[in-house]
Amino acid sequence: MTTPGLDLALTASPLLRLPPAAEELLRALDAPPRLGAHLRAVHDVAWTLTDRLGRLRPDLDFDTTAVLFGAATHDIGKIIHVEELSGPGHRHEAAGRDLLIQYGVPAHLARFAGTHGSWTDPDVGLDDLLVSLADKIWKAARVQTLEERVSEFLGGAPWEAFLVLDDLLQELAAGADERLAFQASYPT
């Protein structure tokens, strides 16, 4: 049964709704309302990020559907490790990946729960980096090493690619206060 707080976190506000499968999972697992709000904020940013990058670089090879599902579920392990909703920790990453697989989510989509904090891993691809980037920029956090990794995939002169990404990230970061207030309005 979904609590009224979770229902509001998943439906209220002008933020984009989560993919139906992600929303169903959060309801089935009775996720904390703050987690639902957080996942909506990151998903909303990921949608704009993938849309704009796809328009700016149509030849850029990433799976929009996978990135959006990854953004919508990347912290689902915090249902198990609730203390990480309000404090630091990485135990939710493997737990989230395992939880998603347990609920029948294919491994190629469940992986984002485990990789969203691992952007320095040389084997992490663009899809994973975009989920990581959305998880940072939703609150206007800028991480140079992460942004440099994403810029490498954009191609062209490195400084030009970084400037294109920087402009987009500045625009996305401008809405951080509203997203932070939305998330903070829901209990952990």
Percent of the chain scoring above 70 in pLDDT: 99
- 23 pLDDT more than 90: yes
- 162 pLDDT more than 90: no
Q: What angle do CA 17, 150, 60 make, to 5 degrees?
A: 75
pTM: 0.96
Mean pLDDT, residues 96-123: 95
Average pLDDT score over the chain: 94
Query: How do the domains of the chain map onto residue ranges?
Result: 4-184
Within a 13 Å sphere around the CA of 163, how many CA atoms are in the beta-carbon half?
A: 5
Q: Which pLDDT band, with edges at 50, 70 and 90, does 188 fall under?
A: confident
Of 72 and 90, the structure prediction assigns the larger pLDDT to 72
Of 160 and 23, the structure prediction assigns the larger pLDDT to 23
Q: What span, in angstroms and rounded, lies between the C-alpha atoms of 7 and 18?
A: 12
135 Ramachandran zone, left/alpha/beta (phi>0; psi -120 to 50): alpha
Single-letter amino acid, residue 140? A
Q: Which pLDDT band, with edges at 50, 70 and 90, does 155 fall under?
A: confident
Over residues 57-88, the pLDDT tens digits come to 999 999 999 999 999 999 999 999 999 988 88
pLDDT (0 to 100) of residue 1:
57
Domain 4-184 has CATH 1.10.3470: no
